[in-house]
Structure 1
């Protein structure tokens, strides 16, 4: 386990409910395209890796798939169990999952490679548990991304907040370009064939207070930055946020936040 993996466990510990109320609503956007890329249909044996609040699992069940799910955070496991009663959901973390070789027809990982210290090893593991000819489909946040992705970070920077020392980054040798070409290369290096990655851009609409609620609750790395100096730092960042978010306000009072992700798929 890398320092980044250890940091991620600390970041997400106990944050499942706050995530479900906030950033999960953003991440659900890519689910239909992710399941299409994994060719999920009636009878498909699918593993939802990094299941979070269960959005991929629930959508796959609606297609008639036979779904199992796994997440490194016990709170996320419980959230998916509540969202999809009867589905087998286990605690497990990449790059070693508790499943047999070729056990699944398809594996989907929605915004999971962003949260592992060894992305290539993680993809090799996803290939291992996928049957020959089966599909692996993943999403990552594109970099550079849409301007909506930087809003809270800009507010934190304007408030003078700095990244906590314990908040690790991915080791240099494991970094890959967060672009379609970069994800293509990573999928190919993992031994997958018929690789194809594309950008997906959309506008996420959210109430300004709802969008702030996630970082203020310490959700994700950005949340740990916002809360790094306690309530005083949160209040300072919120003052900056209230000014900066006006750039994205629509006439109905909601924020319109441009985001960009990369969706990649390959065949085992």
Structure 2
């Protein structure tokens, strides 16, 4: 599958879904924000670009540290949300691997759960490196594979409902893919010409209203959302029934879903 197909598909899964994202994935993706900004050495006075800002969570946190922030996203609905969340950030429409900024414009670049959604991760990292001055920092988060229990839940519900996922979903070309592990991320950063590369796993237990966690796939977000949306109404109802069954044993006394998850946090220095 060629790059434009993969990227176009990924962007289509987010179009018009900013509200559903905030309800389902938003709090989950916000969790590593502080660690991400620490890894990028974001502090007062630093020029920071937040690529794939979504609703502006990371950009707002960087502003709170006194940084000067530019936030970029390809989806107008996400930029509209970021305008409310990250007041004071410069907002720009754009997408990796080509962004409309000169070389070495920033002191740090951050991309929170963005590399999972680009057709050429190496090219995306090369662009982040281009935007940062020598001595500056690049930091990224992405989901690991194999998936943690929280993310496995949806596929388990689909399998339990006897639904076969479609085979025509765009996938990264093998030569562009990389292991979604600490070693794989470290290698990707180093291959982009960055120095002092490293990656750590950030683990936590995510708590969410089960209805909110279901809202993402129900709205068509991500590959699992596309699988759900392609089913007939009766099949979608069966997947939801299996989801409710599987989550019944993972709920706390207040009815909230509580499951372990993790993210990979990679960071490096521009030489």
Of 155, 158, 162 in structure 2, the residue corresponding to residue 156 of structure 1 is: 158
Cα drift, residue 72 of structure 1: 1.5
Does the C-alpha gap of structure 1 residues 77 and 162 become closer, same or farther in structure 2, counting only changes over 3 Å? farther
CA offset digits 1:219-243 (Å, max 9, x no partner): 2222111211143332111011011
Does the C-alpha gap of structure 1 residues 16 and 104 become closer, same or farther in structure 2, counting only changes over 3 Å? same
Query: Any residues of structure 2 matched to 1:1-268 within 5 Å, and which?
Result: 1-164=3-166, 166-268=168-270
Cα drift, residue 152 of structure 1: 1.2
Poorly superposed stretches of 4+, deviation over 4 Å? none
The SS at the match of 2:183 is: helix
The SS at the match of 2:32 is: helix
CA distance in 2, matches of 1:63, 1:12: 29
Does the C-alpha gap of structure 1 residues 233 and 143 become closer, same or farther in structure 2, counting only changes over 3 Å? same
CA offset digits 1:7-64 (Å, max 9, x no partner): 1121111111110121011000010000000000001100000000110011001100
Does the C-alpha gap of structure 1 residues 89 and 162 become closer, same or farther in structure 2, counting only changes over 3 Å? farther
Aligned residues: 268
* TM-score (norm: length of structure 1): 0.96
The SS at the match of 1:2 is: helix
Mapped contact 2:60–2:87 kept (Cα < 8 A)? no
CA distance in 2, matches of 1:66, 1:240: 46
Cα drift, residue 172 of structure 1: 1.2
Mapped contact 1:161–1:226 kept (Cα < 8 A)? no
CA distance in 1, matches of 2:169, 2:15: 14
Moved more, 186-195 or 159-168: 159-168
Cα drift, residue 159 of structure 1: 1.6
Does the C-alpha gap of structure 1 residues 75 and 67 become closer, same or farther in structure 2, counting only changes over 3 Å? same
CA distance in 1, matches of 2:74, 2:65: 25
CA distance in 1, matches of 2:38, 2:14: 28
CA distance in 1, matches of 2:167, 2:19: 26
Mapped contact 2:179–2:185 kept (Cα < 8 A)? yes
Mapped contact 2:182–2:264 kept (Cα < 8 A)? yes
Moved more, 63-72 or 220-229: 220-229
Moved more, 110-119 or 231-240: 231-240
Moved more, 134-143 or 163-172: 163-172
CA RMSD of aligned residues (A): 1.3
The SS at the match of 1:101 is: coil
Moved more, 74-83 or 132-141: 74-83
